[in-house]
Structure 1
Amino acid sequence: MSRSKKYNNPFAGVRYEHLVAGVSGGVASTLILHPLDLLKIRFAVSDSSATATKPHYTGLTQALGQILRHEGIKGLYRGVTPNVWGAGSAWGLYFLFYNMIKSWFQSGNSKVHIGPSLHMVAAAEAGILTLVMTNPIWVVKTRLCLQYTDGTGKVLAESHRYNGMVDAFVKTYKYEGVRGLYKGFVPGVFGVSHGALQFMAYEEMKAKYNRYRNLPIDAKLTTLEYLGFASLSKLFAAVTTYPYQVLRARMQDQHAHYDNLRHCIKETWRHNGVRGYYKGLLPNIMRVVPATALTFVVYEHTSHFLLGLRLPEEPQQEEKS
């Protein structure tokens, strides 16, 4: 397969439709399921060394009741603003970069099957590019989700009291510099494997299914089919790579202090053993599987609609280029 001159440039495959569709899917799922994300983060940083500023949760029902009792409904939506910004921008950029890289591998022909290894490479590269651009948003989201009101009356230091997303950005940079905005970046890089596994599984399932139906691999599916493939691929990736999310949340927690990733791993093991690396897995699965399914359904339908508005390119011109 010869690569046309046009597709020697990886940016030739840039399509704003993927960005818009990804943002739409990320925002929709985040607004609906943010409380489960908050519970996941609080479980991830909870351990036997809990202090007066860090409540201890024994289960989903108990945690939900305690948050409602001390913080009200508003407590379940702490950090929702940066989460919407983060999820919208992350999904939008991820789909943009992923489809740009995949299109380059395909030489612009969406009907070419590039195989599981190149799907994983495209997803991993897209994940790293997205993480570099969005990590500060995730730090702020995590910290706002970990602003507790537990009835103890203990007042946090000024550097750890945030009045909102902008205030959290300003104070994190003011007291911790750029390094503070990139806390959790290293486990986040490890987490790129999560997206790589998910997209590989998702793309391969779609391709095999369309081949079974004797259709092109990029043929549009029904909403139910998108839901099924997205849910299965996310479940597979979530269970496989969950520990990195726990470590990332712990390193971003303003109530805890870890020298580096190795220190965080050792302390988590010391206090909780193997189970410590899977704290919050249940609320995470309850959130990410339907969230991803919703995100992918909105993305697929939106991108197909927007791309359908484009004038079709003439293949003869591309061959002559």
Structure 2
Amino acid sequence: MATAQRTEKNQWNNMIAGGMAGSVAVLFLHPFDVIKTRLQVQDGAALAVPQYKNALDAARNVVAQEGWKSLYKGLTPALIGSGVSWAAYFAIYEAVKAWHCRWQQRDRLSPVWNMASAAQAGAMVCLLTNPIWLVKTRLQLQRLPLTSAAAGAVGAAAGAAGRRIVPYNGFLDAMIRIGREEGLRGYYKGLGPSLVLQTTHGAVQFAVYDELKYVASRFGRSSDEADRQLGSGELSLFAASSKLTASVTTYPSQVVRSRLQQRMDDGRTLVYNSASQVVRVTWQREGLRGFYKGLGPALLRVMPQSAVTLLAYEHILRLLDAASSESAAPSASPAPTAPAAPQSGSNQAAPAAPTAPAAPATAQ
């Protein structure tokens, strides 16, 4: 009973630490996400979407035309989505790993099973958070009133489709209107590439992260010696390295998702109906380069974000585990503080993210 209570408490600690850590990273790095999203949807088929030359040009134009606050468009759903994604992902990932360890009667999972655990957690979180990330994408792409010439062109295209463009008035308004105008199906646009992104990104990132952390903690130690507690610098380096590997590998899925999730009533001359159509048209019009638009600001965001999030997670989790151990000391004998992460034998649970996803996003 005491062991079960400790396991449940550790899972709650994983969830709380994950949610807090994800939100901290979003606050610092959201502008990079806005620039990345705007570059991702530049396919040359939308009258209402400016054609930025590069990330620096995009940032300069966004600030000049819409004000610096526009760099924080979509912040509310980003914070909500990140908190929910990280909290759920950490908790589910650790629970799944613990279950696999018990089922296999092993103290540590192999890289393949770590990837499988991360993929399972990613799929569950993706189903939960796709509506939030959809709203974030649309708010980030939503601009201030266009110039008269551009507005006339967009208005003509929208009028031809029998629609009137009405901007969303924040997160709640977007959630309500998407449901009313597009139905339940509208909330899950881009779900296919999101599932691919969540499962593969998390699997690659945290298999690499777990292995780096395990090897470093066991380096130069015999099987009878306890794991070495890793420092902040090492954890940050491992987090950034694993995130870089996963981000470059899975980035095309992000581009496909963003193009599917953008509003299709903004004067576009090309409307995407499926992920396969996005892939086919992008390849025909832009080639391989089209699948990596916005990669620069994406890496500038996700690498420090991963380092900040995982570093915050590790330290918050240690504090929570220490508090849990102190409160349990009078009634229970000391026990390992992180049974959900048996590969390390310490408080350093091996987290996973969306995203994200994501998120991410998270893998986002």
TM-score (norm. length: structure 2): 0.79
Question: Which residue of the other structure, out of 212, 218, 228, is the alignment partner of 2:237?
Answer: 228
How far did 1:266 drift?
Answer: 1.3
Q: Helix, strand or coil for the counterpart of 1:49? A: coil
Is 1:116 the counterpart of 2:114? The answer is no
Cα displacement string for residues 203-229 of structure 1 (whole angstroms, at most 9, x for unaligned residues): 000011111042545x53211111000
Query: Would the alpha carbon gap of residues 221 and 131 (structure 1) be closer, same or farther in structure 2, given more than 3 Å must change?
Result: same
Cα displacement string for residues 1-32 of structure 1 (whole angstroms, at most 9, x for unaligned residues): xxx9x88xxx9687111111111111000010
Distance in 1 of aligned mates of 2:140 and 2:255:
14
How far did 1:49 drift?
Answer: 2.5
Could you tell me which residue of structure 2 aligns to residue 105 of structure 1? 100
Query: Would the alpha carbon gap of residues 28 and 108 (structure 1) be closer, same or farther in structure 2, given more than 3 Å must change?
Result: farther
- The structure where helix makes up a greater share of residues is 1
Query: Would the alpha carbon gap of residues 162 and 190 (structure 1) be closer, same or farther in structure 2, given more than 3 Å must change?
Result: same
Q: Helix, strand or coil for the counterpart of 1:58? A: coil
Residues 28 and 295 of structure 1 are in contact (CA less than 8 Å); yes or no, is this contact kept in structure 2? yes
Could you tell me which residue of structure 2 aligns to residue 307 of structure 1? 321
Cα displacement string for residues 94-142 of structure 1 (whole angstroms, at most 9, x for unaligned residues): 1110011112223399x92211011101100000111111110000000
Is 1:21 the counterpart of 2:30? The answer is no
Is 1:161 the counterpart of 2:148? The answer is no
Distance in 1 of aligned mates of 2:59 and 2:302:
18
Is 1:80 the counterpart of 2:58? The answer is no
What letter matches 1:262 in structure 2? Answer: S
Distance in 2 of aligned mates of 1:195 and 1:241:
10
Query: Would the alpha carbon gap of residues 108 and 305 (structure 1) be closer, same or farther in structure 2, given more than 3 Å must change?
Result: farther
Residues 131 and 188 of structure 1 are in contact (CA less than 8 Å); yes or no, is this contact kept in structure 2? yes
How far did 1:305 drift?
Answer: 1.3
Could you tell me which residue of structure 2 aligns to residue 275 of structure 1? 289
Is 1:49 the counterpart of 2:45? The answer is yes
Distance in 2 of aligned mates of 1:197 and 1:204:
11
Is 1:176 the counterpart of 2:172? The answer is no
How far did 1:40 drift?
Answer: 0.7
Could you tell me which residue of structure 2 aligns to residue 239 of structure 1? 248
Moved more, 13-22 or 81-90: 13-22
What letter matches 1:221 in structure 2? Answer: L
Please list every run of 5 or more consecutive structure 2 residues that lacks an aligned counterpart in the other structure: 336-364
Distance in 1 of aligned mates of 2:30 and 2:79:
9
Residues 187 and 261 of structure 1 are in contact (CA less than 8 Å); yes or no, is this contact kept in structure 2? yes
Residues 48 and 272 of structure 1 are in contact (CA less than 8 Å); yes or no, is this contact kept in structure 2? no
Distance in 2 of aligned mates of 1:40 and 1:246:
10
Distance in 2 of aligned mates of 1:13 and 1:199:
23
Could you tell me which residue of structure 2 aligns to residue 128 of structure 1? 123
Moved more, 259-268 or 76-85: 259-268
How far did 1:160 drift?
Answer: 4.9
Q: Helix, strand or coil for the counterpart of 1:15? A: helix
Coordinate RMSD, CA, aligned: 2.4
What letter matches 1:211 in structure 2? Answer: R
Please list every run of 5 or more consecutive structure 1 residues that lacks an aligned counterpart in the other structure: 317-321
Query: Would the alpha carbon gap of residues 177 and 83 (structure 1) be closer, same or farther in structure 2, given more than 3 Å must change?
Result: same
Residues 260 and 273 of structure 2 are in contact (CA less than 8 Å); yes or no, is this contact kept in structure 1? no
Distance in 2 of aligned mates of 1:309 and 1:212:
29
What letter matches 1:304 in structure 2? Answer: R
What letter matches 2:293 in structure 1? Answer: K
What letter matches 2:238 in structure 1? Answer: F
Cα displacement string for residues 271-297 of structure 1 (whole angstroms, at most 9, x for unaligned residues): 211111010111100100000110000
Distance in 1 of aligned mates of 2:164 and 2:68:
25
Could you tell me which residue of structure 1 aligns to residue 32 of structure 2? 36
How far did 1:50 drift?
Answer: 3.6
How far did 1:251 drift?
Answer: 0.4
Residues 208 and 242 of structure 2 are in contact (CA less than 8 Å); yes or no, is this contact kept in structure 1? yes
Could you tell me which residue of structure 2 aligns to residue 205 of structure 1? 212
Q: Helix, strand or coil for the counterpart of 1:169? A: helix
Could you tell me which residue of structure 1 aligns to residue 57 of structure 2? 62
Residues 106 and 114 of structure 1 are in contact (CA less than 8 Å); yes or no, is this contact kept in structure 2? yes
Distance in 1 of aligned mates of 2:46 and 2:177:
24
Distance in 2 of aligned mates of 1:108 and 1:224:
34
What letter matches 2:310 in structure 1? Answer: F
Cα displacement string for residues 154-180 of structure 1 (whole angstroms, at most 9, x for unaligned residues): 267556510000000001111111111
Residues 55 and 294 of structure 2 are in contact (CA less than 8 Å); yes or no, is this contact kept in structure 1? no
Could you tell me which residue of structure 2 aligns to residue 319 of structure 1? none
Query: Would the alpha carbon gap of residues 222 and 63 (structure 1) be closer, same or farther in structure 2, given more than 3 Å must change?
Result: same
Residues 13 and 99 of structure 1 are in contact (CA less than 8 Å); yes or no, is this contact kept in structure 2? no
Q: Helix, strand or coil for the counterpart of 2:102? A: coil
Cα displacement string for residues 217-261 of structure 1 (whole angstroms, at most 9, x for unaligned residues): 5x5321111100000000010011110000011100104621211
